[in-house]
Amino acid sequence: MAPIRLGVVGLSTRGWASQALIPPIFTPPLSSLYTLTALCTSSEASAKASVEKYSGLAGHPVKGYYGEKGPEQLANDPNVDMVVVSVKIPDHLKTVTPAIEAGKKLFVEWTLGNGARETEMIAEAIRSKNLECLIGAQAKQSKTVRKVKELVDAGKIGRILSTSAIVSAAPAEANIWGPIVTPDAEYASSVNNGATPLTVEIGHFLVALTDVLGDFSQVCANGAVRFPTAKVITYDGQPTGKSIQSTSHDQVSLSGILSGKPHSEGAFVNIHCRSGLTHSGEGGKGRRQFIWVIDGEDGSIEVRSREADGPYAFSLTIADIEVFLNGVEVPLDEIEEDKLGNTGKAWLHFANGDEGKYPTINDAIRLHRVLDAALLSIQEGRKVKV
């Protein structure tokens, strides 16, 4: 089978696509299943720098596009089979549209759209063309989640009564959703742009939670803006003198009731997502970025990060962290594909057509309905059925 030829919108020399999404395709066995043929960035200068970097990694020339017309030009490139979208969430709709019109396979980083309505619009367009689409919701590939699901499905803690979690948004050092932000994070300070701790951090966590325990039937949520003003710094940490107002809820609690799986039907959920906390120095000593407890009639499972796991152990999309069954640590079994990392495993399952093993547009719609219900609950102060 010929490798799938990728064109990546948003692949610069820095950022999420360059750090996590694309590096796995250059290693076996993915290097025989995919090849990078084109990329698109915002400017001619960044496109030139990216082409130089990735042509070297790919071992062949990579075509560079840029600017407003770039995504359309890339989508219509005959040497591109699959368009990868890794841009700011408000730009997802206009970026995926030319790829859908061109009939290309798609990878779209979470979230698929800005809210449930836009997500459903994109999904309907994808379905109308009968296109394949992989969603970048990497927690589904986590070996931590795989182990927790195995324990729950095996009945190790009996009928599930409740589950609770403390989830950190990106640490203060990441300069997003806190008192200090970098230019590329400014847009996330507006709740209307869809890149909030609710949609991103809780959204990624719900990928794991619902995979293990099932869907929500109703939610009730609260949100607070503890950092209403943020100072903007340069990428190298220098002050710009600019301040912006934030409307994104940097403290979020989400409660709900689960349905859909016999072992967890009616189970109660409580999640707290917190932002702006430091990980380094005295202020970060002993702080756990992530704690998830599942309580059953016959025992409990606890998933928790360690201080040694580093500042980015706040999300199962990135880190594989400790699992305990009734207080005893359970080893995380490693299979060959785990060497690819969470993103690499998603690429592998998609290429192999392993349905059910990678997130799809149906998963995106289901989760966005929960997140939209939670935001409505925050805004109107009431329970919302999903």
Tens digit of each residue's pLDDT, the chain (386 residues) = 799 999 999 999 888 899 999 999 999 999 999 999 999 999 999 999 999 999 999 999 999 999 999 999 999 999 999 999 999 999 999 999 999 999 999 999 999 999 999 999 999 999 999 999 999 999 999 999 999 999 999 999 999 999 999 998 877 888 899 899 999 899 999 999 999 999 999 999 999 999 999 999 999 999 999 999 999 999 888 999 999 999 999 999 999 999 989 999 999 999 999 998 887 777 777 778 899 999 999 999 999 987 666 656 567 767 778 999 999 999 999 999 999 999 999 999 999 999 899 999 999 999 999 999 999 999 999 999 99
* Angle, helices 92-101/116-128, rounded to nearest 10 degrees: 10
The label of the residue with tokens 């120095």 reads 281
Q: What is the dihedral of CA 207, 211, 214, 218, to 10 degrees?
A: 0
- What pairing do the DSSP bridges indicate for beta strands 328-329 and 322-325? antiparallel
**Position 234, amino acid:** T
Written as six digits, the tokens of 352 are 């192999």
Identify the structural domains of the chain with CATH numbers, from first to last. Answer: 4-109 (3.40.50.720), 140-332+359-385 (3.30.360.10)
Whole-model pTM: value is 0.94
**Per-position DSSP letters for 315-352, written without gaps between them:** -TTT---EEEETTEE------GGGGGHHHHHHHHHHHT
Query: Residue 42 phi/psi, 5° resolution?
Result: -75, -30
